[in-house]
């Protein structure tokens, strides 16, 4: 199975937009054949998108891609496969109900007259296993395997299909350190045989350890491509975050004397959150920074009753609350703006009015449960103006609004309830610049009026611009706390766990 040819890639002026925001903008990268090429960047920098474009998972809007100097336009991962490009990512999982061996050879089963030659397939499997030196039960259902073993299946599949290029998207984010080193040994061995590896990761130590070349991306733009030997973790972080943030900066009144509104202690959920405690005072915005998968969203969902917790107490305004459902959290005065407005927030086919009043319909209904349309309309109009939704037409469907205005409608929904605690998960994701500024002003205003705000954002500039205090999460725990206006690199380094990476 050894070949001498190596496959090289060339990406020229690649651009990709997602609902108005530029995920990639004019990015050009050359990947030398037979090397390990790492793509690094902060959350949302576009590194995964670039990996997906190479693997044919995502189609670029602009630019060209060349494989061995031949221009290609993939419309599916399958087409990339035929050119020997395989993708391994947790999003593209294999078929869970099929066995290990069936997954590895799916589509390339040895066959004769349309019949699968099981004995030959088994022989090929034994060859692969002995070659790679690890054992997997060939008949185990893939859905029952641990993540690390699923990745082995995917790698074996890539090898079995004689992939010349393997795109690995965050392959170690759910592996233990032992499994990670096994994976790294495999990557070294693959490179020995001339396989080209595209390695997308936010673990900078791994990247420096493994890669020959590193490409740094920031906000969808190329920062630089350089030999890994010339980089350090600090230089990569500096490249990923650039000069001082451009986000609007708000006054940060200190609230050491104000009343504690939200008091969470000992919150745990097995495998997700470890013993989380935090306090938010009236008028205070607490920012929660951390990488994707660090437990930020899980913490927000646990506090707001969306997900169950194993232990811990939640106290709002001095009263201990039993929060077992979103309804309980709302009764305690909390409001939760979820990460994905389309999946968890909006009723796209319903009107702005229906969306705005849904969480508190009784406030616009008679005692018999009949909605007072005129009251609803007036109330909605008032809230849409307050949140500057454009156009503020209560009878339009939410689906007709832009992302930023959809997000403002969710704010309007919660403002109707005058919440004491606002838990905001990525409040400006996929929102244009003007709407973003409007949402920032709104958050600041709500805090100034006495609400306690927990702000989660992948954009560290946003957290720093708004938050009065910053908590950093890593692997399900709060690992650092910063008072007002910490330096950006300090927060980033804490998020990336520099200075002693915790071993899962």
Partner 1 sequence: MTAPTDPAASDSLASAPEPGSQATGETDARVSVGGVAIPGLRLRVTPQHVRDYGIIVFAAALFIYFTIASPSFLTSNNLLNIVYQNATIGVAACAVTFTIIAGNFDLSLGSIFALSEVLGAWAAVNWGVWWCFPVTIGAGAIMGLINGLLVTKLRVNAFLATLASGLSFGGIAVGVTHGGLLITPASSVFTFVGQHKALGIWDAAIIFIVLAVVLQLVLAYTVFGRHLYGVGDNRNAARLSGLKVDRTVITTFVITGAACGLAGLIDSSMTGSGTSSQEGLAGQLALLAIAGVALGGSSIFGGVGSVWRTVLGVLMLGMITNGFDLLAVSDYWQDIVRGILIILAVALSFVVDRRNA
Q: Is residue 399 a contact residue for partner 1 (CB under 8 A)?
A: yes
E strand intervals along 19-138 = 21-31, 36-40, 62-67, 70-72, 85-89, 111-112, 115-116
Q: Quick check: helix, strand or coil at residue 96?
A: coil
Question: Is 375 an interacting residue with respect to partner 1 (CB under 8 A)?
Answer: no
How far apart CA 304 and CA 37 sit, in angstroms, is 41
Q: Is 344 in the site for partner 1 (CB under 8 A)?
A: yes
Q: Does 144 bind partner 1 (CB under 8 A)?
A: no
Is residue 228 part of the contact set for partner 1 (CB under 8 A)? Answer: no
**Residue 396 engages partner 1 in binding (rule: CB under 8 A):** yes
**By CB under 8 A, is residue 279 in contact with partner 1?**
no
If we measure between CA atoms, which residue out of 247, 257, 253, 245 comes closest to residue 447?
253
Task: Kindly determine how many residues on this chain lie close enough to bind partner 1 according to the rule CB under 8 A.
Answer: 47
* Whether 108 contacts 160, CB under 8 Å: yes
| 475: CB partners within 8 A, 6+ apart | 294, 295, 497, 502, 504
Kindly state whether residue 333 participates in binding partner 1, applying the rule CB under 8 A: no
Cα four-point dihedral sign 347, 353, 354, 357: positive
Is residue 277 involved in binding partner 1 (CB under 8 A)? no
Determine which residue in the list 27, 160, 346, 412 makes contact with partner 1, applying CB under 8 A: 346
Half-sphere exposure of 180 (CA within 13 A, CB side): 17
Tokens 């031949």 label which residue? Answer: 70
**Main-chain dihedrals φ then ψ at residue 167, nearest 5 degrees:** -95, 120
Smallest distance, partner 1 to C-beta of residue 419, A: 11
Q: How far is the CB of 24 from partner 1 (least distance, A)?
A: 16
Query: Counting contacts by CB under 8 A, is residue 477 touching partner 1?
Result: no
Q: Could you tell me which stretch among 216-224, 226-234, 330-338, 482-490 binds partner 1 (CB under 8 A)? A: 330-338
Q: Does 327 bind partner 1 (CB under 8 A)?
A: yes
Site for partner 1 contains 244 (CB under 8 A): no
> In the set 262, 401, 460, 463, which binds partner 1 (CB under 8 A)?
401
Tokens of 459: 């954009």
Is 369 near partner 1 (CB under 8 A)?
yes
By CB under 8 A, residue 385 contacts partner 1? no
- Over the window 12 to 51, marking each residue x when it contacts partner 1 by CB under 8 A and - when it does not, the resulting string is -------xx-------------------------------
Q: Report in angstroms how near the CB of residue 219 gets to partner 1 at its nearest.
A: 18
Selected from 36, 276, 330, 447, the binder of partner 1 by CB under 8 A is 330
In the complex, minimum distance from the CB of residue 324 to partner 1, in angstroms, rounded to a whole number: 12
Q: Write the secondary structure of 442-500 as one string of H (helix), E (strand) and C (coil).
A: HHHHHHHCCCEEEEECCCHHHHHHHCCEEEEEECCEEEEEECCCCCHHHHHHHHCCCCC
Query: What phi, psi does 374 have (nearest 5°)?
Result: -65, -45
| Contact criterion met (CB below 8 Å) for 442 and 428 | no
In the block, residue with structure tokens 């709302």 = 330
- Residue 358 touches partner 1, criterion: CB under 8 A: yes
251 counts as binding partner 1 under rule CB under 8 A: no
To partner 1, the closest distance from the beta carbon of 346 in angstroms equals 6
| Alpha helix stretches (DSSP H) within 24-89 | 47-54, 77-82
Residue 418 binds partner 1 (CB under 8 A) = no
Per-residue contact flags (x/-) with partner 1 for residues 425 to 464, judged by CB under 8 A: -------x-xx-----------------------------
Is 390 one of the binding residues for partner 1 (CB under 8 A)? yes
- Min CB(45)–partner 1 separation in Å: 21
Are 322 and 328 in contact by the 8 Å Cβ rule? The answer is: yes
- CA distances to 55, 246, 266, 289 from 483, in Å: 42, 20, 22, 13
Q: Is 72 a residue that touches partner 1 (CB under 8 A)?
A: no
Compute the least distance from the CB of residue 375 to partner 1, in Å. 13
- How many angstroms separate the Cα of 438 from the Cα of each of 208, 245, 405, 435, 469? 40, 18, 10, 5, 21
Of 245, 371, 378, 490, which one interacts with partner 1 (CB under 8 A)?
371
Q: Considering the rule CB under 8 A, would residue 404 count as an interface residue with partner 1?
A: yes
* H or E stretch at 311: strand 311-316
Q: Give the 3-state secondary structure of residue 205.
A: helix
Q: Interface with partner 1 by CB under 8 A: which residues? A: 19-20, 304, 306, 325-327, 330-331, 336, 338, 343-350, 354, 358-359, 361-362, 365, 368-371, 373, 390-393, 395-396, 399-405, 413, 432, 434-435
């Amino acid at each position: 199975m050894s070949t001498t040819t190596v496959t090289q890639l060339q990406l020229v002026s690649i651009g990709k937009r997602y609902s108005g925001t530029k995920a990639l903008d004019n990015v050009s990268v050359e990947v030398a054949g037979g090397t390990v090429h790492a793509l690094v960047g902060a959350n949302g920098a576009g590194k995964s998108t670039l990996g997906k474009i190479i693997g044919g998972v995502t189609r670029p809007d602009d630019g060209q891609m060349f494989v061995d100097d031949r221009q290609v336009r993939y419309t599916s991962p399958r087409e990339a496969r035929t050119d020997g490009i395989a993708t391994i990512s947790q999003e593209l999982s294999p078929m869970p109900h099929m066995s290990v061996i069936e997954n590895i050879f799916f589509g390339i089963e040895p066959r004769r007259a349309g019949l699968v030659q099981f004995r030959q397939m088994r022989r090929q499997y034994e060859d692969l296993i002995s070659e790679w030196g690890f054992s997997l039960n060939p008949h185990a259902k893939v859905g029952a395997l641990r993540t690390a073993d699923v990745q082995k299946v995917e790698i074996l599949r890539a090898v079995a299909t004689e992939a010349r290029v393997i795109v690995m998207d965050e392959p170690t984010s759910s592996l233990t350190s032992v499994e990670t080193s096994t994976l790294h040994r495999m990557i070294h061995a693959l490179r020995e045989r001339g396989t080209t590896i595209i390695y997308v990761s936010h673990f900078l130590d791994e990247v420096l350890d493994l890669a020959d070349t590193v490409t740094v991306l920031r906000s969808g733009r190329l920062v630089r491509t350089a030999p890994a030997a010339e980089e350090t973790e600090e230089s990569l972080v500096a490249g990923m975050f650039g000069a001082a943030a451009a986000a609007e900066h708000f006054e940060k009144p200190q609230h050491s004397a104000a009343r504690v509104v939200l008091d969470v202690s000992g919150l745990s959920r097995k495998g997700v959150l470890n013993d989380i405690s935090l306090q938010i005072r009236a008028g205070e915005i607490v920012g929660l920074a951390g990488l994707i998968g660090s437990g930020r969203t899980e913490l927000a969902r646990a506090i707001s009753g969306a997900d169950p917790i194993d232990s811990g107490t939640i106290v709002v305004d001095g009263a201990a609350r039993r929060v077992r459902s979103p309804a309980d959290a709302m009764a305690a005065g909390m409001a939760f703006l979820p990460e994905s407005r389309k999946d968890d927030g909006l009723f796209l086919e319903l009107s702005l009015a229906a969306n705005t009043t849904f969480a508190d319909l009784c406030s616009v209904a008679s005692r018999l449960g009949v909605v007072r349309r005129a009251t609803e309309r007036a109330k909605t109009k008032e809230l849409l103006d307050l949140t500057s939704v454009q156009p503020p037409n209560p009878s339009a469907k939410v689906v007709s609004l832009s992302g930023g205005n959809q997000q403002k409608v969710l704010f309007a929904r919660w403002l109707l309830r005058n919440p004491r605690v606002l838990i905001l998960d990525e409040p400006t994701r996929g929102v244009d610049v003007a709407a973003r500024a409007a949402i920032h002003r709104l958050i600041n205003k709500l805090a100034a009026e006495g609400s306690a705000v927990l702000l989660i954002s992948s954009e560290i500039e946003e957290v720093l611009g708004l938050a009065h205090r910053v908590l950093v999460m890593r692997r399900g725990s709060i690992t650092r706390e910063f008072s007002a206006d910490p330096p950006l690199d300090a927060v980033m380094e804490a998020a990336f766990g520099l200075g002693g990476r915790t071993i899962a």
